[in-house]
């Protein structure tokens, strides 16, 4: 069983050693970092808050969302080894979305000024952020295409497959996703309803493609699950 690594490790960039204060050898830099833990359900920032820092997730998970006419749209759910608030790098002055802890979450907070100093000293950080912006742009484009060309059920199944491939752990012929998100959160991510998510998951469980509870999702047949996506 091998845990999936965050995508930037493919570029051999050990961002943890750069941003995590517990592993920095420079006391001056360490003194500027802040470790902050957020409780489950705690809001980290909201629209119009000052955008002057970036957050590196040491443990836990964060939901990034926006509100449109009172309806929540989930943009991303991020976990250990990922960052959020990254638009501060591009000079964003005010936040335009919400960041909320889905569980108790430990973060390393880096100010914009400190981040710019680190980027001048560590050229690999520039590649790191290029990867982040590129990946998230591609993800938004993929979700838009899915919204246009796929029905609700296929969008949900496609999301489950993608989440399994990116964050799942393989156990024999099966895949397990721990800390499974709620049906409402899946609905927010796929532009569907909670009822449609529940109906789809129950149908996939009936077909013995997966099983789930509040804490985990077990994919019993990933190829079979992929076949459920209507092209």
Q: Which domains, from first to last, does the chain contain? A: 7-147 (2.60.120.10), 151-226 (1.10.10.10)
**Cβ contacts of residue 126 below 8 Å, gap of 6+?**
119
Euclidean distance between CA atoms 110 and 84, whole angstroms: 11
CA gap 62, 43 in Å, rounded: 10
Q: Which residues contact 95 (CB under 8 A, 6 or more apart)?
A: 45, 46, 47, 48, 49, 50, 51, 85
DSSP, res 70: T
Checking if the pLDDT of 102 tops 50, the result is yes
Q: pLDDT tens for residues 14-55?
A: 566 666 645 444 444 444 557 899 999 999 999 999 999 999
Q: What is the pLDDT of residues 206-220, one digit of tens each?
A: 999 999 988 899 999
Helices (H), the chain: 15-19, 27-32, 112-121, 124-149, 152-167, 183-190, 194-206, 222-226
What is the pLDDT, as a whole number, of residue 215?
Answer: 82
> Is pLDDT at 134 greater than 70 in this prediction?
yes
Compare 98 and 133 and report the one with higher pLDDT: 98
The whole-model pTM stands at: 0.74
């Amino acid at each position: 069983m091998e845990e999936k690594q965050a995508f930037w490790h493919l570029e051999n960039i050990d961002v943890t050693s750069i941003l995590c204060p517990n592993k920095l050898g420079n006391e001056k830099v360490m003194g500027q970092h802040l470790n902050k833990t957020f409780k489950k359900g705690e809001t980290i920032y909201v629209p119009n808050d000052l955008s002057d820092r970036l957050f590196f997730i040491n443990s836990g998970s964060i939901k990034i969302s926006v509100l449109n006419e009172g309806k929540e749209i989930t943009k991303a759910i991020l976990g250990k080894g990922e960052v959020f608030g990254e638009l501060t790098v591009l000079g964003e002055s005010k936040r335009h979305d919400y960041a909320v802890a889905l569980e108790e979450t430990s973060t390393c907070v880096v100010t914009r000024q400190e981040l710019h100093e680190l980027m001048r000293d560590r050229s690999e950080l520039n590649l790191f952020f290029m990867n982040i912006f590129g990946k998230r742009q591609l993800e938004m484009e993929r979700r838009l295409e899915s919204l246009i060309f796929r029905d609700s059920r296929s969008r949900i199944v496609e999301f489950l497959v993608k989440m399994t491939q990116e964050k799942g752990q393989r156990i024999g012929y099966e895949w397990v996703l721990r800390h499974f998100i709620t049906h409402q959160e899946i609905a927010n991510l796929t532009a569907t309803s909670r009822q449609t998510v529940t109906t789809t998951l129950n149908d996939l469980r009936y077909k013995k493609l997966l099983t789930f509870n509040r804490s985990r999702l077990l994919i019993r047949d990933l190829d079979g699950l992929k076949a459920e996506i209507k092209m």
